[in-house]
Structure 1
Amino acid sequence: MKTLKKFVSYYGPYKAVFLLDLLCAAFISLVDLAYPQLLRELTRTVFTKDGNAILHTIPLIGGILLAAYILQALCQYYVSCQGHIMGARMERDMRAELFEKYERLSFSYYDKNNTGQMMSKLVSDLFDISELAHHGPENLFISAVKIIGSFIFLFIIQWKLAVVLLITVFVMGFFSLRQNRSMHATFVDNRRKIGDINATLQDSLAGIRIVQAFANEDLEREKFRAGNDGFLVSKIDNYHAMGKFNSTNLFFQGMMYLLTMVVGAYLIAKGEMTVEDMAMFALYIGVFVSPIKILVELTEMLQKGMSGFGRFLEVVETPVEIKDAPDAVAMVDPRGDITLDDVSFSYEKEDKVLHHVSMHIPSGKSIALVGPSGGGKTTITSLIPRFYDVTGGSIRIGGQDIRDMKLESLRSNIGIVQQEVYLFDGTIRENIAFGKPDATEAEIHEAAKRANLEEFIDSLPDGYDTIVGERGTRLSGGQKQRVSIARIFLKNPPILILDEATSALDNESEQFIQDSLEKLSTGRTTITIAHRLSTIRNADSIYVIEDGKISEQGNHGELLTAGGTYARYYEMSRN
């Protein structure tokens, strides 16, 4: 009920459309119900009179029916058009809410969840919800009106025959629901199999360069063929179940006509029913058989839609771990000192990644973090912008605890350059401007110039309008890195985090990037993670992080003299 109430709440902004939709649906149903009853009354009254009386009455009745059918057509247009538009708008609202929630969820959520599943919830699941939002209440309402209305009239005409038909309807519904469960099982299998195909396709296309480099196209074709054939088998099972469902319903529909004729004939013979009334029964069977099938199919739609809505709620109701405190304020002193005071951290129930780490980074100074992989260097730099929250101790900037700052204010004052650069599928201009969406053309050009990128851009036929491709595949590693540096120049933050920004580049590219990074670091508080120790020799202070602790601290010369881990790393880098 809680899920259903939550679902109904999304009709809120569209109450008027929804109520008018149901009103139109009711009118459509009532017109269909009225015709057999009108025909019955005409047969018993008007059609028994002489020809002149019939010709005098029929134009009036025909005109009323014509008006009713015109209005019914207009109602059908509203139901088909505006009803679907309402469902599409509800789908849009839910998709916007879901995307907004994805944007606010913390890194810990993305650490545990699959991107493909998140895409499925954002696209295909919401389509099923949209169909349920429109067709669910409408089909339920129309079917209920037609079935209940038909049986009211049937019981008025001849209750004995109506009871026989009602029992037949219950038996039909029983078999239909059983077969519907079978159809549902095959439908679930369909979705799983098409998911396997999508996963294989995404994996193969994303890694197409590796596939072709190893000449393993045949291997990938075989993997795809297996998934594709599996989907075909699942679809065949689905069509077998669908065939049984439709044939059973058709059989019971025939049984209703058969029983109407046999039982009706018996009642006519007994003088308990007229021939005209038996004809009316046949007409009403046609009126309520279709809604019964719609109701049975509605259970499938309900299962699909509500299961998708349940997956939607799983995300929407997921608590946001990293969010603004109720009394959060903007960062007071972005250029203030950064202090880590007895900081500890662990990922949920895992062992601690950081153990009582304390360090002081004076404003405008440059510090470096070195040490073995997995030691906790990247974790430290992820805690400063609050991608994760400390589990012990505190981090302050300018004396202000970062948990008391508004996230937007905190992160807008921090620039991050990572080893693995992410570029959006757009132009070079758009990717640079991501650092400052309202930047002028002159500002974008200046940022590109300071990142040593302008000469490369000028050599391109489309210049700044060059498409970089998905994840920047049309650019080299060094070029992508310079684009990322250009957008940090444009952002112009007082605090800079460099996470192994040159470790994956060749020597020539590294020199270009290093020059850009030195310009970028000037006058900013800079934290650098580096494996190439030659890039951090001039850092004001170097911290060696091992097993989540600070094992050494000092400048380049002091650490070499100490002869510890840093000295050993430096000696290895020279050989």
Structure 2
Amino acid sequence: MTTTTTSSPPDSRAGGTDNNSRERAPRGGGGRGGGGGFGPARIDPEDRAQLAESPVRMARVLQLFRPHRGPLLTVTAIIVGTSVAGLASPFLLREIIDVALPRQDVELLVIMVSLMLAVTVITSLLGVLQTWIASTVGERVMHTLRTRVFEHLQRQSMSFFTRTRSGEVTSRLTNDIGGMQAVVTTTATSIATNVTTVIATAIAMIALSWQLSLFTLLVLPPAIWLTRRVATMRREMTLQQQRRMADLTNQIDEGLSVSGVLLTKTMGAGRASARRFADTSAELVDLALRSELAGRWRMATMSIIFAAIPALIYLVAGLPITGGRLSIGTLIAFATLQGSIFRPLMGLLNVAAQWIASMALFSRIFGYLDTETDVGEPNDPVSVDRTAIRGEVRIADVDYRYPGSETDAVADVDLTVPAGSSLALVGATGSGKSTLASMVARLRDPSRGTVTIDGHDLRTLSAETVADLVGVVTQETYLVHGTIADNLRIAAPDATDDQLWRSLEIAQIDDLVAALPRGLDTVVGARGQRFSGGEQQRLAIARVVLRDPPILVLDEATSALDNSTERRLQAALDSLSRGRTTITIAHRLSTIERADQIAVLDHGRVIELGTDGDLRRRAGSYARLAGATADDEQDRAGTA
């Protein structure tokens, strides 16, 4: 029986994810029922802790398999039928040895041999059918869970992803859900197979000889104990190998990614990185050798046990207590049955560990499904006519506090941005500008107050509607590893090439794309590495243009760029903003000056509001920020 426990990080429940948690190395498999290995499946402390923290109701697990009741009942019937049919072979063998061969009864011999072959063929075919049905059920359950978790995570707010490592999400979607198939195709079916095989075999052994059956009860326990003891050595080596392999994989991911190579080269850390990799690889070599030796001990032990038990059976059969009472055929049939009961018994000893490991998988998966989203979909979303939306944004008495924080990131903000006008948000780093802007795009919901578009509370609109009404351009541009056309059509899957070129023209990057040998079919590379930062930003702007939203949120879209690139990008943003309601976070003085309104934030509160001229005349916080910004721009211009 195989224990399937896969690499999975500590859980992130509804309350959040522990950022200090680390990825767990994949845990090794246990013994196999019905003919596999004999590794002891010990209960993993992390699995036990997982279930103690997040218990799993059996009814919820069964609910997943309810649509597949018919196939599962068929699998159960096949398992029982196969186990019972497999027991016919020893009795047929006894008939051959005790009757057909001594009497030279060719007809009976042919019948018995034919029946033995028929049993083998039938049980093999039933085994194939069982595997196919169980695998089909497992794949379908896995597909259902995978899509449900993916869709649920897509509905999570940005705060969920800022506190959760991407590797944890990936592990949950791939490793943990992938392990669900084994629950059906291996764990559950192996338990059923082992139980039926042990019961049927025990009955058959008693029917053949109760004396030898009693002797088997004395011999098997120490044999099983010795086998598990030796297998423990191999398991420990395997676990250490998996941990070191996880370290090696992590070093490859970090050291040979685009960002990792750049960091190594610029920090001169190549030798140190290579030395760490070599050390980990050397540990793997040592562990592999020790594991191979432990495996040899395991195989030697198994060989001794499988040779010793039949020999002892033959010895006991010749003792006075049983002498003369057993036929040769009965003895051989019993030895065959006795040998076949060893494996399923080993498997049944692992049931507890398998059960807890399987339930821990469900617990981790349900943990994500039960994670409540901070930005939920409305039960009955309001339908709006996009053509009738003017674009007025109202931020009414809004507070926002990050989970776990004791202070508000935004407090008592009350702003109105008339349709088609612009608002600039300025302030020191950490003053709440990006947090406030993110609520306009409903990446977060206010802790108190409302954000509305033309009077519609964003919480009453579907996510698709909000995304259709509000376009966002941030400093962090994300381009998928595909062509330029692929990246643009994320915004409008049905957009024609003419529409793509028009959006590129507005973003002022059409000439660059047209000069490329493959044009729109140019692959942008991992995270858009084929293009410079400014070019990536303009491609992102072109993507927003395709959606043609009435409201724009520009979150420091021109920061960290050189003057020349910033001017080209700002021209693209100006073109994009024309006729739209625009909320801008920027440090560029010209952008701030042109805004219809400027809100100065400090510790999440609006401390000044007005036009550039009004705020300069007040000689307050804005005037000081504007003066500092002007000095910075002059310095940058002087060094450009």
TM-score by length of 1: 0.91
Following superposition, the deviation at residue 432 of structure 1 comes to 1.2
Cα shift at 1:560:
1.0
Aligned-residue offset at 1:140:
1.9
1:213 corresponds to 2:266: yes
Distance 1:24 1:422 in 2: 52
Aligned partners of 2:473 and 2:557 also within 8 Å: yes
The answer for the alignment partner of 1:30 in structure 2 is 84
Post-superposition shift, 1:385?
A: 2.2
Which residue in the other structure is 1:127 paired with?
178
**Selected match of 1:451 from 507, 515, 519:** 507
Q: What is aligned with 1:340?
A: 395
Q: Deviations over 1:190-213 (max 9, x none)?
A: 444333223322222232122123
Q: 1:187 to 1:298 in 2, by over 3 A?
A: farther
User: Which residue does the alignment assign to 1:15?
Assistant: 69
**Following TM superposition, by how much is the alpha carbon of 1:186 offset from its aligned partner in structure 2, in angstroms?**
5.2
CA contact (8 A) 1:322 1:386 kept: yes
Paired residues of 1:330 and 1:410 also in contact (CA < 8 A): no
Residues 301, 462 of structure 1: CA spacing in aligned structure 2 closer, same or farther, 3 A cutoff? farther
In the alignment, which of 188, 191, 204 is matched to residue 153 of structure 1? 204
CA distance in 2, matches of 1:426, 1:348: 36
After TM superposition, give the deviation of residue 311 of structure 1 in Å. 2.5
Equivalence for 1:110: 161
Q: Which residue of 2 aligns with 1:492?
A: 548
1:216-265 deviation line (CA, Å, top 9, x unaligned): 21121123233334445555565566555555544443442233122222
Asked if the contact 1:423–1:471 (Cα under 8 Å) also holds between the matched residues in 2, the reply is yes
Does the aligned pair in 2 maintain the 1:443–1:490 contact within 8 Å?
yes
Q: Deviations over 1:364-420 (max 9, x none)?
A: 110100010000000001112222221122222212222222222122210000011
**1:97 to 2:145 alignment:** no
Match of 2:578 among 499, 522, 547: 522
Matches of residues 405-424 of structure 1 in structure 2 within 5 Å? 405-424=461-480
Question: 2:629 corresponds to which letter in structure 1?
Answer: S
- The alpha-carbon distance between structure 1 residues 157 and 415, as it changes in their structure 2 partners (threshold 3 A), is same
CA offset at residue 562 of structure 1? 0.9
The residue aligned with 2:498 is 442
In 2, distance between residues paired with 1:344 and 1:18?
Answer: 53
How far off its partner does 1:506 sit?
1.4
Tell me, yes or no, if structure 1 residue 259 matches structure 2 residue 312: yes
C-alpha displacement at 1:568, in angstroms? 1.2
Instruction: Choose from 281, 289, 302 the match for 2:342.
Output: 289
Residue in structure 1 matched with residue 455 of structure 2 by the alignment: 399
| C-alpha distance in 1 between matches for 2:448 and 2:542 | 35
SS in structure 1 of the partner of residue 409 of structure 2: strand
Distance 1:226 1:7 in 2: 44
* Code of the aligned partner of 1:121: R
Richer in helix (by share): 1
Question: Which amino acid is 2:191 matched to?
Answer: L
Aligned equivalents of 1:383, 1:234: Cα separation in 2? 52
Give the AA of the match of 1:514: Q
Say if 1:325 and 1:191 are closer, same or farther in 2 by CA, change over 3 A: farther
Tell whether the 8 Å contact from 2:422 to 2:583 is kept in structure 1 after alignment.
yes
In 2, the alpha carbon distance for the partners of 1:263 and 1:431 equals 77
Aligned partner letter, 1:139:
S
Distance 2:191 2:270 in 1: 50
User: Bigger shift: 56-65 or 242-251?
Assistant: 242-251
Indicate the larger mover: 26-35 or 325-334. 325-334
Looking at structure 2, the residues matched to 197 and 306 of structure 1 have their Cα atoms a distance apart, in angstroms, of 29
Superposition pairs for residues 144-543 of structure 1, below 5 Å? 144-176=195-227, 187-206=238-257, 207-232=260-285, 246-267=299-320, 270-295=323-348, 305-331=358-384, 334-350=389-405, 351-543=407-599
1:388 aligned counterpart, secondary structure: coil
Could you tell me how far apart the structure 1 residues matched to 2:247 and 2:232 are? 23
1:139 partnered with 2:190: yes
Q: Deviations over 1:116-152 (max 9, x none)?
A: 1221222233333323320112222222222221211
Deviations 1:264-312 (A, max 9, x none): 2215665443443222221112322233344457777656554444332
Check whether the contact 1:369–1:529 (CA below 8 A) recurs between aligned residues: yes
Q: 1:477 to 1:177 in 2, by over 3 A?
A: same
1:527 and 1:515 mapped to 2: Cα distance?
16
Q: 1:40 aligns with which of 94, 104, 127?
A: 94
Structure 1 residues 121 and 559: CA distance shift in structure 2, 3 A: same
Tell me if the contact between 1:447 and 1:490 (Cα under 8 Å) persists in the aligned partners: yes
8 Å contact kept, 1:369–1:527: yes
Displacement after TM superposition at 1:552 (Å): 0.9
Worse-matched range after superposition: 417-426 or 2-11: 2-11
* SS of aligned partner of 2:423: strand
Does the C-alpha gap of structure 1 residues 65 and 262 become closer, same or farther in structure 2, counting only changes over 3 Å?
Answer: closer
The CA distance in 1 between the partners of 2:350 and 2:129, in whole Å, is 23
Matching residue's letter, 2:344: P
2:400 partner amino acid: F
Instruction: Label 1:283 to 1:292 Cα distance change in 2 as closer, same or farther (>3 A).
Output: same
List per-residue Cα deviations over 1:508-534 (Å, max 9, x = no partner). 211111111111111111000011222
Q: Distance in 2 between matches of 1:315 and 1:500?
A: 33
> In structure 2, what is the Cα distance between the partners aligned to 1:496 and 1:286?
74
Q: Which has the higher contact order (CA 8 A, sep 6+)?
A: 2
Kindly provide the amino acid, as one letter, of the partner of residue 412 in structure 1: D
Change (3 A) 1:178 1:409: farther
Percent of aligned positions that are identical: 28
User: CA 1:365–1:448 in structure 2 vs 1: closer, same or farther (change >3 Å)?
Assistant: same
Residue number in structure 1 paired with 2:49: none
**Is 1:267–1:273's contact at 8 Å kept on the other side of the alignment?**
no
Measured against aligned partners, the alpha-carbon deviations of 1:328-360 in whole angstroms (never above 9, x if no partner) come to 323466424211121111111312111211111
Alpha-carbon distance, 1:458 to partner: 0.7
Aligned length: 572
Residue 73 of structure 1 deviates from its aligned partner by 2.9
| 1:140 to 1:451, Cα distance in 2 relative to 1, 3 A | same
Partner Cα distance (2:598, 2:475) in 1? 20
Is the alpha carbon distance of 1:23 and 1:241 closer, same or farther for their aligned partners in structure 2, counting shifts above 3 Å? farther
Distance 1:367 1:181 in 2: 67
The one-letter code sitting in structure 1 at the alignment partner of 2:211 is K
Structure 2 residue identity aligned to 1:424: V
Note the residue ranges of structure 2 that are not aligned, 5 or more in a row: 1-54, 632-640
Amino acid at match of 1:225: A
> 2-side partners of 1:244 and 1:296: how far apart?
21
Please give the TM-score of this superposition, normalised by the length of structure 2.
0.83
How far apart, CA to CA, are the structure 2 residues paired with 1:45 and 1:388? 82
The 8 Å contact of residues 33 and 287 in structure 1, kept in 2 or not, is answered as: no
1:8-30 C-alpha deviation (Å, 9 max, x unpaired): 44333433333333333334333
Tell me, in whole angstroms, the C-alpha distance in 1 between the residues paired with 2:354 and 2:234: 12
Q: Secondary structure at the match of 2:159?
A: helix
AA aligned opposite 1:193: R
